Amino acid sequence: MNYVFHFNVVLDHLPELIEGAWLTIRLSAMAMALGLALAVVTAYARMTGPAPVVWLVAGYVELIRNTPFLVQIFIIYFSLPALGIRLEANEAALAAMTVNLGAYATEILRAGIEALPRGQIEAAKALGLPRLAIFRYVILFPALKTVFPALASQFILLMLGSSVVSAISAVELTAVTNSLQSTTFRAFEFYFFATGLYLAMALGFRFALGVIYWAAFQRRAWN
């Protein structure tokens, strides 16, 4: 069987592919920021809230971590309208990715918080620091520093998982690639190139996260 490769077709559509990659980067970056913020809130709520709140957070985390991402996206996009909540495709994709990352990041953050020496918190209380300041400086900051590698991995997984949102017509790199390959019939060439783009984006994100780690945790003499 002879297959003649036509990579020039891919190069003809390079602008659309680059725009798709940019949309993936933008969607992933927003979901990372919102998901981490959500995780900080839920971690705080789980630590200091009353019993019903703790149960609610635990329920949310277990539900999201034990169901497939694609099913979560379908529910947000196709089923919520029946309850009156109609989200446009890109909004639904961002919501699903935020909720999904929030659950995993909550668990990662919780592990980091539980690894802190108890003496630190007792010392802070003895010094009379207000509760929010204790959470911010004594708990959250050291925990984030400890779990940063695990969080970074989860962020990369989120960006790669964003390829699934093309199933609900959200526009990002995989959606653009699917449309291009279905009209040009060059499936191998386009998917091969898209793989390369995802690899480049993942490496780029890793580098950016490394810079963030250095800027936030290593530059000053906190430790």
Partner 1 sequence: MTMKKLGLRLVALAVLAAVAAMLTPHSASAESTLDKILREKKLRVAIDVANPPFGVLGKDGQPDGSDVAVARQLAKDLGAEIEFVQVPSTGRIPALLAGRADVTIASISVTADRAKAVMFCNPNGALSITIFAPQAVAVKTPADLVGKRVGITRATLEEATVPKMAPAGTNIVWFDDLASTTQALLSGQVDAAAMTGFAEKAVADANPDKHIENKLLVTTAFYGPIVRHDEFELRQWINTWLFLNTQNGFLAATYKKYTGLDLPPLPVF
> Which residues of this protein are in contact with partner 1, per CB under 8 A?
1, 3, 77-79, 81-82, 86, 89, 166-169, 175, 178-179, 181-183, 185, 187-188
CB nearer to partner 1: give 68 or 117.
Answer: 68
Which DSSP string corresponds to 6-45?
-HHHHHHTHHHHHHHHHHHHHHHHHHHHHHHHHHHHHHHH
Work out the burial of residue 98: count CB atoms within 10 Å of its CB; fewer than 13 is exposed, 13-18 middle, 19 or more buried: buried
The Cβ-side half-sphere exposure at 32, using a 13 Å CA radius, reads 23
Residue 43, CA distances (Å) to 37, 96, 97, 149 in order: 10, 19, 18, 18
Residue 182 or 218 having the CB closest to partner 1:
182
Closer of 154 and 181 to partner 1 (Cβ): 181
Q: Report in angstroms how near the CB of residue 169 gets to partner 1 at its nearest.
A: 5
Q: Rounded to the nearest whole angstrom, what is the least distance from the CB of residue 68 to partner 1 in the complex?
A: 16
Choose between 88 and 114: whose C-beta lies nearer to partner 1: 88
| Cβ-based nearer residue to partner 1, 48 or 169 | 169
Q: How far is CA 70 from each of CA 21, 23, 93, 144, 218, rounded to the nearest angstrom?
A: 20, 19, 10, 29, 38
To partner 1, the closest distance from the beta carbon of 24 in angstroms equals: 16
183 or 223: whose CB is closer to partner 1?
Answer: 183
Structure tokens at 36: 């981490």
In angstroms, give the least distance from the CB of 14 to partner 1: 20
Q: Min. distance of Cβ 179 from partner 1 in angstroms?
A: 6
Token output for 182: 């279905």
CB of 92 to partner 1, least distance (A): 9
Cα dihedral 37→42→48→52 (10° resolution): 150
